Amino acid sequence: MESGIIIKGVGGFYNVYTGEGRIVTCVARGKIKNKGIKLFVGDRVSFSCSEAGTGIIETVFPRTRFLHRPPVANINQLILVFAMNKPRLNLNLLDKLLVQAEAASLPALIVINKIDLGFDREAGDIKAIYTKIGYKVLPVSALKNQGVAEMKPWLKERISVVAGPSGTGKSTLINRLCPGADLKTREVSAKLKRGRHTTRHVELIPLEGGGFIADTPGFSFYQLKDIGAAELAGYFPEIKAVRGGCKFGGCLHDREPECEVLCRMNRGEITRSRYDSYLQLLREVQSLERSF
C-alpha cells in the first residue's frame, strides 16, 4: 500500500503524487463510491497498485480544511496576487479576500505583481499598510523574474492556493515558480482593463523544494455569504485588537458613540482605506442578511 496526494481529477481518474515524486493514475475503490465519499484535489489517500501500474484508491484520510469553489482539500495558505496597474489594484477586493482568509484561519501572502511597470510611492505605502497589520507583502515581476525567488521559502511544504483578479499575472507567476507547469496566459484586455481566466480546472503543481501550488478558476471567495455583520470586525486584525475599548458591546464601528475603532481611525492609527473597506463589506454583509 502506498500513499500520496491527489493533484488532478478528471472523469473518475485521479493523478496521485507520491512522496517519491511518482505520479500514479488511480480510480476509487467501489466501497469509497458506495459510501458517497467524493474525492478532490488535495486529498491525501492510500492506494494499491495493479500489475499494469495503475492504482486503486483504498482510503481517504481526514481533511484539515476544504475550499468549496473550486474544491480543493487540505490547503494551508492563500497567495493573493494583485497588480498596481493593468489591472488597477482594487483595495476593497484585496481586503475582502483577506477577510475570507481570516475567517478560514488561512495564512495569506500578498503578492504585488508587475513591478516592472513601476513600484512607486503609492505601492510602497500600500505595502507598509499591510505589513503593519501583520501580512507578508512581496513585490514581484513574474514577467521579468524579479522577486520570485523570495517567494519560494513561503511555499515550501505547503499547499498554496493562488487567487486574485484575472489579468494580474497569476499563471505567469506559477510558470516562473514551476517551469514545467506551462499554464496558459493571456494579455489584459485594453477595452475591459482586466484579464480573462485562462485556467479551466484545479490542478496542484508540485514544487521543487516541496509543497504544491494551484491556480483557481472560478474562485468563490468574492462573496461573503457565511460571515455575519457582528463577526466581520474580528477578521480585520487592527480592528479586532482595539474593539474591546468600545463603550457598547454590540458596536459595529459605524457611527456609534464612543467607538474606539472610530477614535483610532481618526487619530490615524487605523488606515482610512482599511476602515472604508470594512464599512463597504459591512453594508454588503448586512444586505445579504436582510435577503435571507
What does the block give as the cell for 108? Answer: 495569506
Given 40, 62, 84, the domain boundary residue is: 62
Is 166 found in the same domain as 206?
yes
Q: Does position 67 have pLDDT exceeding 90, yes or no?
A: no
The answer to whether residue 224 sits within a structural domain is no
Confidence (pLDDT) at 4: 96
Q: What distances in angstroms separate CA 130 from CA 119, 153, 163, 284, one per listed residue?
A: 16, 20, 17, 22
Residue 182, pLDDT > 80, answer no
pLDDT in tens, 159-181: 999 998 889 999 899 999 988 77
pLDDT tens digits, 33-63: 899 999 999 999 999 998 887 899 999 999 9
Residues 96-142: tens digit of each pLDDT:
999 999 998 999 999 999 999 888 888 999 999 999 999 999 999 99
Q: How does pLDDT run across 199-208, given as a tens digit for each residue?
A: 457 889 999 8
pTM over 0.85: yes
Grid cell in block for residue 175: 510558470
Label residue 183 by pLDDT band (50, 70, 90): low
Residue 94 and residue 132 share a domain: yes
- Let me know whether 83 and 204 are in one domain: yes
pLDDT at residue 220, rounded to an integer: 52
Q: How far apart are CA 186 and CA 190, in angstroms?
A: 12
State mean pLDDT over 278-287. Answer: 96
The string of DSSP codes covering 9-42 is EETTEEEEEETTS-EEEEEE-HHHHHTTPPP-TT
pLDDT at residue 185 is higher than 60: no
Residue 222 lies in a domain: no
Considering the chain, what is the average pLDDT of its residues? Answer: 89
**Same domain, yes or no, for 174 and 210?**
yes
Q: In the chain, what percentage of residues exceed pLDDT 90?
A: 71
Structure confidence at residue 191 (pLDDT): 43
Residue 219 located in a structural domain: no
- What is the pLDDT, as a whole number, of residue 144? 94
Do 88 and 145 reside in the same domain of the chain? yes
Note the pLDDT of residue 196. 47
Q: What CATH number is associated with residue 132?
A: 3.40.50.300
Which of 16, 38, 62 delimits the end of a domain?
62
pLDDT value for 194: 44
Let me know whether 204 and 242 are in one domain. Answer: no
Judge if 93 and 19 occupy the same domain. Answer: no
233: CATH: 1.10.40.50
Its sign, for the CA torsion 18, 20, 23, 26, is negative
pLDDT at res. 230: 95
| Residue 36, in any domain of the structure | yes
Total domains in the chain come to 3
Domain that holds residue 262: 229-291
Instruction: Choose one of 214, 248, 263: the last residue of a domain.
Output: 214
Same domain, 209 and 82: yes
Look at residue 83 in the predicted model and tell me its pLDDT: 94
Q: SS3 of 66, please?
A: strand
Helix or strand run (H / E) with residue 277: helix 272-291
Radius of gyration over alpha carbons of the chain, in Å?
A: 21
Exposed / middle / buried, residue 288 (Cβ in 10 Å: 0-12, 13-18, 19+): middle
Q: Is residue 74 part of a domain?
A: yes
Look at residue 216 in the predicted model and tell me its pLDDT: 67
Residue at grid coordinates 458613540: 257
Per-residue model confidence (pLDDT) at position 217: 62
pLDDT in tens, 218-266: 555 567 778 999 999 999 999 999 999 999 999 999 999 999 999 999 9
195 and 252 part of one domain? no
pLDDT, position 51: 80
Residue 155 has pLDDT above 50, yes or no: yes
Q: Helical H runs in 104-225?
A: 121-132, 152-155, 170-177
The CA-based dihedral angle spanning residues 67, 70, 74, 78, taken in that order and rounded to the nearest 10 degrees: -80
Flag the least confident range among 151-160, 222-231, 283-292: 222-231
Q: Is residue 196 part of a domain?
A: yes
Predicted pLDDT at 68 = 78
Exposed/middle/buried for residue 276 (C-beta within 10 Å: 0-12, 13-18, 19+):
middle
Would you state the pLDDT for residue 197? 43
